[in-house]
Amino acid sequence: MHRTPRVRSRGRPDRLVVVLSDIEMGAGGALDDFPNSPWLGDVLRRYLDPRYDDVALDLVFNGDTFDLLKTSHKDTWPHHVTSDVAVAKMSRVAAAHPAFFAALREVLARRGSRAAVHFVAGNHDLDLFFPEVQEVVRGLTAKDERVRFHGHQFELGRAFFEHGSQLDPLFRVEVDQPFLEHKGEKILNLAWASVALLDVVIPLQPLLHHHDRLKPKKLVLELVPEVKELLTSLAWSYWTRDWWRDYFGAKNPVKRVNWTMLKEVVWRFAAMDVEVGTQADFQRMMTEDDRYDLRMVGHVHEPGWWSFSGRRVLRTGALRDEFVIDADGLVQTPVNKTWAEVWMSGDEVVRAYLVDEPSPLRPPGTMPLSIFDVIPGVRALLRPDAARLEEISAQEEQERKEK
């Protein structure tokens, strides 16, 4: 096909795209990683300011908007998630965050056809694939095409949006198969790492929920080594169940799950390793694929920016609550909230940047003053010394076999 040489012109912006990820709204209380939905509602209402009246407004929630993975159902964390279970979890989260949905309703009502809300699924809210869950969200916002569910990814002109978990081999799922059949019921097709977390780590949330929010995680595990010991012990007990290995071996014969991989999942959850191999994928796609001038991702809870010949990857940070501890673990400093603004003219990306803002404080009584308060509870769950030594020896032997 003949193409005429030209110089691309971006022109005056006619659309503002606001991109937020990793909010992880839970079911309320101390275990909820985002108890400040009134603050988020105020952030969204800023874009109703008259200075934005001459541009269309797109609000993109780029994955892990809702922490449905860690939201319990009837005091358990099932990994056979049916539509009924997913709706029940979504309803609990919605009931805990009315201010968020009120703000979305207001934005859509006041902006009319010049506003849209987009949801991308992340590894914490794959439940959004259920049409029944989508109807719950639409019922709380707007029951029309302005509220859109895109699955794992979507594009607006030359801007591409994905959460990032599909680039993470531990949490990647089959794009074309969001559901499985189990005993005549349709259940969510979770990544094997998510299933392992549901069985091993997430039931510890009543005890360790705040430590999941602390950074740097390597320092946390050094200051409170009992946490790492407990997680490793529970992971080993889980791994040594033959039915577990048989289940995953049958489900995914091309990728054998071994003890080393399971331990990595548990430690990754505890350590929140921000470089999970995805940065190289971002850079490769940016340099090899010129269809997009901008790629937006989240997932690893650290803001970032990469560029190559006018193309960019922007990574939004987490909006959920996180804290940085000092060297002795006695001072906790809230991590700033980071999201993105993307200005577009038609299909062209005119400019894009990250917005960084101080975090609101958590409500009183929803976090411990000291990170060491959990130690008695953790020690109570550890096995006797002799059994732990025997277990460690068995783990080391298994790791030698897998090398």
Q: What is the pLDDT of residue 403?
A: 67
Q: What is the pLDDT of residue 169?
A: 74
* Distance of alpha carbon 262 from alpha carbon 13, whole angstroms: 47
Strand partners, 295: 160, 313
Report how many domains make up the chain. Answer: 1
Residue from 258, 263, 264 nearest 277 by CA: 264
Q: What is the pLDDT of residue 274?
A: 41
* Distance of alpha carbon 345 from alpha carbon 326, whole angstroms: 44
In a domain, 68, yes or no: yes
pLDDT per residue of the chain (403 residues) written in tens, 0 to 9: 567 887 767 889 999 999 999 999 999 999 999 999 999 999 999 999 999 999 999 999 999 999 999 999 999 999 899 999 999 999 999 999 999 999 999 999 999 999 999 999 999 999 999 999 999 999 999 999 999 999 999 999 999 999 998 887 778 888 889 999 888 899 999 987 788 888 888 999 999 999 999 999 889 999 999 998 998 888 777 766 644 555 555 554 323 456 566 666 665 555 444 444 566 677 788 888 889 999 999 998 999 999 988 899 999 999 999 999 999 999 999 999 999 999 999 999 999 999 999 999 999 999 999 999 999 999 999 977 666 667 677 777 776 776 6
In a domain, 155, yes or no: yes
In a domain, 6, yes or no: no
Tell me which long-range contacts 231-234 makes (C-beta under 8 A, separation of at least 24).
231/200, 231/201, 231/204, 231/266, 231/267, 231/269, 231/270, 232/263, 232/266, 232/267, 232/395, 233/382, 233/383, 233/388, 233/391, 234/200, 234/201, 234/204, 234/266
What range does the domain containing 136 cover? 15-402
Strand partners, 357: 337
In a domain, 249, yes or no: yes
390: tokens are 């025997």
Tell me which long-range contacts 312-315 makes (C-beta under 8 A, separation of at least 24).
312/286, 312/352, 313/282, 313/283, 313/285, 313/286, 314/19, 314/340, 314/352, 314/353, 314/354, 315/164, 315/282
In a domain, 8, yes or no: no
* Distance of alpha carbon 17 from alpha carbon 351, whole angstroms: 11
In a domain, 7, yes or no: no
3-state secondary structure of 101: helix
Strand partners, 20: 61
Residue from 205, 231, 270, 224 nearest 371 by CA: 224
Q: What is the pLDDT of residue 267?
A: 58
* Distance of alpha carbon 192 from alpha carbon 186, whole angstroms: 17
In a domain, 9, yes or no: no
Q: What is the pLDDT of residue 249?
A: 52
In a domain, 3, yes or no: no
